[in-house]
Amino acid sequence: MNKDRKEGIKGMANPGRYGIERVAYWLMRITGLGLLFYFIGHIYETSNLLDGKAAWNSMLELTQTTEGHIFLTLVIGMCVFHTGNGIRLMITQSGFGLGRPRRPDYPYTPSSLNMKNKLCIYVSIGLAALAMMYGLGVMYDV
Amino acid sequence: MTRVITLPKGFERPSNLGSQQKYEEVKSSSKTITLRISKFNPEKDSASTFLEFTVPYQKWTTVLDAILEVKSRHDHSIGVRYSCRQATCGSCGMIINGKPKLACFTKISELDSDVVTVEPMNNFPIIRDLAVGFERMFTTHKRIKPYIINEESEISGTKEFLQSPEDVEKYIQFASCIKCGLCNSACPTMAADSTFIGPQALAQAYRYIADNRDKGKDKRLKIIDERHGIWGCHFAGSCSQVCPKGVDPAMGIQLLRGYLLGYRK
Amino acid sequence: MMSSIMRESHIMKIHYLTALVAVGFVIIHIMIRFTHGSFANSLEFESVIANYKSIPYAIVLEAMLILISVHGFNGLRIILLEIKQGSAYENAVTYGCLAAMIALIAYGSRTIIMASMGMV
């Protein structure tokens, strides 16, 4: 048992128990890492342009598959959620949209975890889902 | 001469039951839950174990009542910290069914479960069983200088530090902190980062900065403006979810960030 | 350590600014892809090369590359610094992320510059 009894990554990565804001924190991390790895892959993938048309087309054969489209759909979803939730965080972390400090009274509902915040998280998730559906439609020419 | 009082029908007291008999009577007529208590002695054990006890409870029975019931009747060695029993002192913080809560402020009936598991708070070292060490939290609290910093003395002459009700309203919420440590236990950054200053200290930093008697804003902002200071917070909001006194540390931290980002002066 | 070169609040302001500006450029990038007909057509070699040869679009790509690299690797640095602490580890993570950021920008810039100059 470690001396500080830190929960460790298990505690950081657990999205449950504490409400939608904790889920949003967890999703923000997952999508951020996912987008970074996609970005690195995308930079490498597009560098195939310099090797000529044959190299580019063989790269496309790898990525323009069903699996590739599903992966790209996930990337679209991650990007939209990360952007939407990121904008919410930038606004709230500057001190806006949190309510005002006031004398606390039972049942001690936290003002910062208000409906506006929760709505923004749900809207980000909803927009991500819509974007994924739209992206799938574009990729399959629907 | 002894006066005999005869009570009307229906008001008769039960016969003179002893304490154990009375307990058995209450127990047989009450609902019961299984209380699982984490036991760990760092001097002897390598890992924690759970002991299970069947405990009767009423509508008003708190988790602390149940633990003390077990301690008095079944296992006297259970290590638990408690004091006021009314959510004022912050001593009895623990993990109850997976969430950090005050044991004296959590009724068994509101947990809606036949099994209640109590464990020591996460992210704190265990002293024994359910009692944890607060050294780190006290250290981080002291770091942010939790006192009014003001060179002017109120002792000389008749000068006093004036505060209107509106001035008090700006910080009184954060002054309600009882240092229970539940916020530090719930925080996902505290779970991984052993040098993070923590939501409790950051909320208290805001409490003093927002107090118009205080002139130490720049000193405190310099202390918290680091990777393991305020920037370790990512507004997961778990601290505010679990705070039993409505301090809302997440609000204090984001308002504090406004100073560092230049939105507040 | 980076925070001794630059205060953490300044690093975070850069993190927020790069995010906001990158969003705009990504929207432009995606919209330009849509101007080439269907998704499959937009990925044809000739169509992609034609885009790179347009100087404004090449500037958009370069800007996106720099902004997203800075934002992404700073985010990775933030996560890695929370997982483990210690001055040697923190310095290694900070300078490692900085190096990876510069390497990715250099590699991506090479593609953009060579493609836009017709060296394909």
Distance CA A54, CA A33 (A): 31
Mean pLDDT of chain B: 89
Residues B108 and B128 in one domain: yes
pLDDT at position B64 over 90: yes
Does the beta-carbon distance from C111 to A47 stay under 8 Å? Answer: yes
Does the beta-carbon distance from C39 to A139 stay under 8 Å? Answer: yes
Does the beta-carbon distance from A43 to C108 stay under 8 Å? Answer: yes
Residue pairs spanning A and B at CB distance below 8 A = 149
What CATH number corresponds to the domain at position B210? 1.10.1060.10
Nearest Cβ partner for B261 among C9, C78, C85 = C9
β-pairing, B131-132 vs B126-128, is: antiparallel
Q: What total of structural domains would you count in chain B?
A: 2
Residues B124 and B31 in one domain: yes
Tens-digit pLDDT profile for residues B22-43: 656 555 556 899 999 999 999 9
Question: Do the Cβ atoms of B92 and B82 come closer than 8 Å?
Answer: yes
pLDDT at position B155 over 80: no
Tens-digit pLDDT profile for residues C59-108: 999 999 999 999 999 999 999 999 999 999 999 999 999 999 999 999 99
Residues B102 and B181 in one domain: no
C2, C3, C8: best to mutate for the B interface, most B CBs within 10 A: C8
Distance from CA of B187 to the nearest CA of C (A): 12
Question: Do the Cβ atoms of B217 and B209 come closer than 8 Å?
Answer: yes
pLDDT > 70 in chain A, percent: 96
Does the beta-carbon distance from C16 to A90 stay under 8 Å? Answer: yes
Q: Residue B54 pairs with which residues in a beta bridge?
A: B34
Mean pLDDT of chain A: 89
State the Rg of chain A over Cα. 20
A6, A12, A56: best to mutate for the C interface, most C CBs within 10 A: A56
Domain ranges of chain C: 2-116
- B222 → chain C, closest CA residue: C7
Chains that touch B (3 or more CB pairs under 8 A): A, C
Backbone angles phi, psi at C29, to 5 degrees: -60, -45
Helix axis angle for B199-209 and B135-143, nearest 10°, is 30
Distance from CA of B254 to the nearest CA of A (A): 5
Residue B233 with chain C: CB contacts under 8 Å: none
DSSP letters along B60-72, please?
T-BHHHHHHHHHH
Residue B17's pLDDT is 47
Does the beta-carbon distance from B237 to A10 stay under 8 Å? Answer: no
Residues B36 and B122 in one domain: yes
Does the beta-carbon distance from C45 to A40 stay under 8 Å? Answer: no
Distance from CA of B139 to the nearest CA of C (A): 18
Distance CA B213, CA B147 (A): 10
Nearest Cβ partner for A60 among C43, C65, C108 = C43
Domain ranges of chain A: 17-96+110-139
Residues B35 and B125 in one domain: yes
DSSP letters along B76-97, please?
TT-------SSSSS---EEEET
Residues B60 and B72 in one domain: yes
Does the beta-carbon distance from A113 to B241 stay under 8 Å? Answer: yes
Nearest Cβ partner for C72 among A36, A64, A139 = A36
C42, C47, C119, C120: best to mutate for the A interface, most A CBs within 10 A: C120
Question: Do the Cβ atoms of B155 and B74 come closer than 8 Å?
Answer: no
Distance CA A22, CA A141 (A): 37
Class of domain A17-96+110-139: mainly alpha
Helix axis angle for A20-46 and C87-116, nearest 10°, is 50
Does the beta-carbon distance from B243 to A110 stay under 8 Å? Answer: yes
Look up tokens 């236990």; give the residue.
Answer: B185
Residue B150's pLDDT is 86
Chains that touch C (3 or more CB pairs under 8 A): A, B
β-pairing, B115-119 vs B126-128, is: unpaired
pLDDT at position A39 over 60: yes
pLDDT at position A63 over 50: yes
Tell whether pTM > 0.90: no
Residues B172 and B125 in one domain: no
Question: Do the Cβ atoms of A102 and B169 come closer than 8 Å?
Answer: yes
Residues B114 and B29 in one domain: yes
Mean pLDDT of chain C: 89
Residue C111 with chain A: CB contacts under 8 Å: 43, 46-47, 49-50
Does the beta-carbon distance from B258 to A11 stay under 8 Å? Answer: no
Lowest-confidence segment of A5-14, A124-133, B14-23, B148-157 by average pLDDT:
B14-23
Q: Give the confidence band of B263 by pLDDT, cuts at 50, 70, 90.
A: confident
Tens-digit pLDDT profile for residues B191-210: 999 899 999 999 999 999 99
Distance CA A52, CA C45 (A): 8
Residues B210 and B111 in one domain: no
What CATH number corresponds to the domain at position B26? 3.10.20.30
Distance CA B63, CA B109 (A): 9
Residue A33 with chain C: CB contacts under 8 Å: 75-76, 79
Distance from CA of B195 to the nearest CA of C (A): 7
Residue C12 with chain B: CB contacts under 8 Å: 231, 261
CATH architecture, range C2-116: Up-down Bundle (1.20)
Distance from CA of A115 to the nearest CA of B (A): 13
Q: Give the confidence band of C1 by pLDDT, cuts at 50, 70, 90.
A: very low
- A46 → chain C, closest CA residue: C111
Parent domain of B256 = 135-147+164-261
pLDDT at position B244 over 70: yes
Residues B124 and B170 in one domain: no
pLDDT at position B12 over 70: no
Q: Is A114 helix (H, G, I), strand (E, B) or coil?
A: coil
Whether B3 is covered by a domain: the verdict is no
